[in-house]
Structure 1
Amino acid sequence: MPLSLCADQAWQLILRTRQHDWQGQSRAVLAGDEYELEVTDNGGWQCGAVPSPEAREMLDLFLPLVSGSGSHVVGQLGQSLDGRIATVSGASQYINCSAALTHLHRLRAVVDAVLVGVGTVNADNPQLTVRHVDGPHPVRVVIDRRNRANAEARLFHDDTATTLHLVGSRHCNAGPGSHSTRIAIDRIGDEAEGDIEPAAILAILARHGLRRVLIEGGGYTVSRFLHAGALDRLHLLVAPMLIGSGRPGVSLPPIDTLDDALRPRSRSFACGRDTLFDLAFR
């Protein structure tokens, strides 16, 4: 009888693939208990054991994110069926199920950095660490063009993970916490429009050795990276819920015809009671 591969074993193999020297070798061969997992630099894989359905989905979803020597930027949004990430008052706990939260923590564990906008920091006071699964903590990155982050936010005051605070150079003064590093950016965005420039931000992160980046939120920040063509993938978690009105997830400039609509390659997976859409833009 062939050996089987469970989800926990698959996850450990994914974490090991993340540590592979992709610049030196374009193929990773990882030994398990009497089996091998072979991974190519585009995330393709073959396994000497038979994966369970959950393990197969996990390998399909995460190996493309940890393979290859280039940069990779993935966005993540959790929303209702009608595309809302919060009510009009900002309530969002919890639109998505516990399995979706576990998926988010897996995403954090496979990237070098997790990035959020200042609105997410002030609204949710997130930790942005890996707690629900095994894996390393990413560097935490806050986009705060006008330097308006809550100085008491947890990620500025704990030493669980490094925090980079990206502030527009016109507004850069003393940092909010002893456990964060403030970086002034001349081209963080347009002063009049309050915009952000994803290319400038990703260039800063690359200079810090942060190539794999998760754009975790909020909807505005993810949408700006999507509109700029800076996302390689978007993981969209859709809950079977109708909110009716509220804060949108993806929000892009209007188009005149459907010929201009984005049509990424798409795969869907069950994620608890939610549905995960894996959207590939490259």
Structure 2
Amino acid sequence: MITSVQLGNFPARKFASPDAWDSFVELFRRGQQPLPPGWADLFGPLRNGTVDDLVIVGQLGQSLDGRVATATGHSKYINCPAGIEHLHRLRSLVDIVVVGVGTAIADNPQLTVRQVRGPQPARAVIDPKGRLGANARLFAEDGVRRLLITAEGRRATAPPGVEIIALPSQDGNIAPSDIASSLRRAGMRRVLIEGGADTLSRFIAARCLDRLHVTVAPVMLGAGGPGIELPPLERADQAHRMPTRVHQIEDDVLFDCDLSGQRVVLGVARKST
């Protein structure tokens, strides 16, 4: 089922002021009182897990023809400014932002909240082979927790204060379920898998996402880095059809996909009612 929700330049522009967003974030994190209309449609599902005590959301920005970068690797910026702002709002609502090492090397992201006001999340990089240098911006000392997720038996070096999580690996990859479980043990309950496309695809294939936000820009790149890539199916009717809500964010279209129906249990399971 697809539900269309027209947000225009974000819901009821009154929520766009810095003070209004601060108030929303505080209300969101309390977890009890109802959220105001507008933002509740978009961010309410991220408040509490329906499968267990975790909420894991993936985020991807892409072109209309399914590309996340040009053939030369350039990706700034496919989405419109409001789409980038949406990503920063997501960051301000979660406990930790996670990226793969390929994205960390290619883009050297800060993974901070800058386009809106809000609390800064912890930051983590999945780096099984210890490829990321100590000068990466996501390792910068700024008062938030920083984590390096690497493979067991790998000599990992990280700047002072960066926590190292060593997990089993197979063929150079760490299972998304192990990553999510380790983050839960580290005290994280709301997790944003921000990229890149390969990391996000692995979490989808492993059924480790509750929600997926795909922001599509009305541009075509023709060739370049693909977005989501999953194991092939023989028939189209074998594909999982998920509940989806569609939001207009200025020039971009946001698909908010509910994947909780196929998500594996990674934390303390919810009791059935």
TM-score, normalising length: structure 2: 0.84
Structure 1 residue 127 corresponds to structure 2 residue 110: yes
C-alpha distance in 2 between matches for 1:5 and 1:130: 20
Residue 162 of structure 1: how far off its partner (Å): 1.6
Paired residue secondary structure (2:38): helix
Q: 1:74 corresponds to which residue?
A: 57
User: Cα 1:66–1:14, aligned 2, differ >3 Å: closer, same or farther?
Assistant: farther
C-alpha distance in 2 between matches for 1:114 and 1:173: 20
C-alpha distance in 2 between matches for 1:63 and 1:11: 14
Q: 1:182 corresponds to which residue?
A: 164
CA contact (8 A) 2:148 2:163 kept: yes
Q: Which structure carries more strand by proportion? A: 1
Decide which moves more: 243-252 or 10-19: 10-19
Q: 2:98 corresponds to which residue?
A: 115
Structure 1 residue 60 corresponds to structure 2 residue 9: no
Paired residue secondary structure (1:166): strand
Identify the match of residue 243 of structure 1 among 221, 229, 240.
Answer: 221
Identify the match of residue 219 of structure 1 among 176, 197, 218.
Answer: 197
CA contact (8 A) 1:77 1:219 kept: yes
Counterpart code for 2:240: L
Q: 1:171 corresponds to which residue?
A: 154
Paired residue secondary structure (2:256): strand
The structure that has the greater radius of gyration is 1
CA contact (8 A) 1:18 1:67 kept: no
Counterpart code for 1:224: R
Amino-acid identity (%): 46
Residue 18 of structure 1: how far off its partner (Å): 3.2
Paired residues, number: 245
Counterpart code for 1:257: R
Q: 1:255 corresponds to which residue?
A: 233
Residue 170 of structure 1: how far off its partner (Å): 2.1
Runs of 4+ off more than 6 Å: none
Q: 1:11 corresponds to which residue?
A: 21
TM-score, normalising length: structure 1: 0.82
Residue 150 of structure 1: how far off its partner (Å): 2.4
Structure 1 residue 269 corresponds to structure 2 residue 247: yes
User: Unaligned 5+ residue runs, structure 1?
Assistant: 23-27, 30-38, 40-44, 48-55
Counterpart code for 1:250: I
C-alpha distance in 1 between matches for 2:124 and 2:143: 14
Counterpart code for 1:265: P
Higher relative contact order (CA 8 A, sep 6+): 2
Counterpart code for 2:128: R
Counterpart code for 1:81: L
CA contact (8 A) 1:196 1:224 kept: no
User: Unaligned 5+ residue runs, structure 2?
Assistant: 1-11, 261-273
CA contact (8 A) 1:102 1:132 kept: yes
C-alpha distance in 2 between matches for 1:14 and 1:264: 28
C-alpha distance in 2 between matches for 1:125 and 1:272: 27
C-alpha distance in 2 between matches for 1:199 and 1:13: 33
CA contact (8 A) 2:150 2:156 kept: no
Q: 1:232 corresponds to which residue?
A: 210
CA contact (8 A) 1:157 1:178 kept: no
Paired residue secondary structure (1:204): helix
Counterpart code for 1:202: A
Q: 1:158 corresponds to which residue?
A: 141
CA contact (8 A) 1:17 1:66 kept: no
Q: How does 1:14-33 map to 2 (within 5 A)?
A: 14-20=24-30, 22=31, 28-29=32-33
